[in-house]
Amino acid sequence: MNLRQLKYFVSVVEAGNMTRAAEQLHVAQTALGMQIRQIEEDLGVVLLVRHSRGVEPTKAGSLLHSRALAILKLVEETRQEVSACNREERETIRLGINPALMTITGTELALTVREHFPQIFLSMVEEFSHVLIAMLLRQEVDFILGYEVPDLPQFSRIALLREDFVLATPPGPQKGKAVTFVEALEHSLAMPESGNVMHNFVARMARDLGLELKIAHEVRSIIAMKNLISRGVASTILSYALIIDEVHAGKLDAYPITTPPVRHTLFLASSRQRNTFRNEAGLTGAVRSSLRGYLEALGPLAQPLWVQTA
């Protein structure tokens, strides 16, 4: 007895007529009758009583009918669940993201992945770029969105955008006016610790120009830096994205830095030693899609390094 025979038997019982059942199943009536006789021979019982109006199940036939319905239902449910396993299996991708990106892009990225790539379980961690680079080297994350990721043999990098950082100060009369790099360094600065990408970049620019970098407060916390600025005891150089809300609220001012600009490149980077993910292309597309809002928010301070499509 096989599944096809069970399906045939159920159809005959429910149709109450061999001819009608054969039409519904698109098989010859003789072939259908043969399959029913094979079941009866296999079980050693009579399953159907034939009469002028058609057929009806015996006591054994009624029992087989109810069990056959349950078996066929279970088989179909099993087929659907097993087939869905491959579609529904989600792979976890660990993404490290710089705080500047998290404020605007993080939520958008999470929602984009959830809506368009449900097969990805995205686990995000927020850290400064130098910490993310170290985490990537230790393979504690799979991808990072960070600034100035070094061109190392063990890294694979995609340049996403180029961004000019700004001088953040307490509110003043010359709001939004551009300042030179020399003028920016005349401020008492709050900066992250040595080793931070921004700290090292500004220090290197100052050294190349023969200038002194005056760091009054060394703090790793973005919140602490913004509090120091709002209290009027320091300024800092950072991504405009980190202070956009405070600038709009009139709590801080942002000054574009020129001659030379403090310009960073944002990369999506991964380790060449990691395992390959099925949905890497989906993640890359979601990252680029979510960065559109970031580019709009920063305006002329950021330029994409890929061709945008509508």
Amino acid 168: pLDDT: 96
Nearest-angstrom CA–CA distance, 111 and 116: 8
Please give the backbone phi and psi of residue 190, each rounded to the nearest 5 degrees, phi first.
-105, 125
Amino acid 172: pLDDT: 85
Nearest-angstrom CA–CA distance, 287 and 106: 9
Q: Is 306 helix (H, G, I), strand (E, B) or coil?
A: coil
Task: List per-residue pLDDT tens for the chain, 310 residues long.
Answer: 889 899 999 999 999 999 999 888 888 888 888 999 999 999 999 999 988 888 999 999 999 999 999 999 898 888 777 766 655 577 899 999 999 999 889 999 999 998 888 889 999 999 999 999 999 999 899 999 999 999 998 999 999 999 999 999 999 887 778 999 999 999 999 999 888 888 999 999 999 999 988 899 999 899 999 999 999 999 999 999 999 999 999 999 999 999 899 999 999 999 988 878 888 899 999 999 999 999 999 999 999 997 654 3
Task: Tell me if 226 sits within 8 A of 246, measured CB to CB.
Answer: yes
Nearest-angstrom CA–CA distance, 113 and 16: 52
How far, rounded to the nearest angstrom, does the alpha carbon of residue 159 sit from its chain's CA centroid? 18
Helices (H), 156-243: 181-185, 197-208, 222-230
CB atoms within 10 A of CB 25: 18
Residue whose structure tokens are 């030179």? 180
Amino acid 190: pLDDT: 94
Q: Which helix (H) or strand (E) holds 302?
A: strand 302-304
Domains and CATH numbers, the chain: 3-87 (1.10.10.10), 91-161+265-298 (3.40.190.10), 166-261 (3.40.190.290)
Amino acid 274: pLDDT: 81
Nearest-angstrom CA–CA distance, 141 and 70: 47
Nearest-angstrom CA–CA distance, 128 and 110: 19
Give the contacts of 241 (CB within 8 A, at least 6 positions apart).
100, 101, 103, 104, 294, 297, 298
Amino acid 309: pLDDT: 44
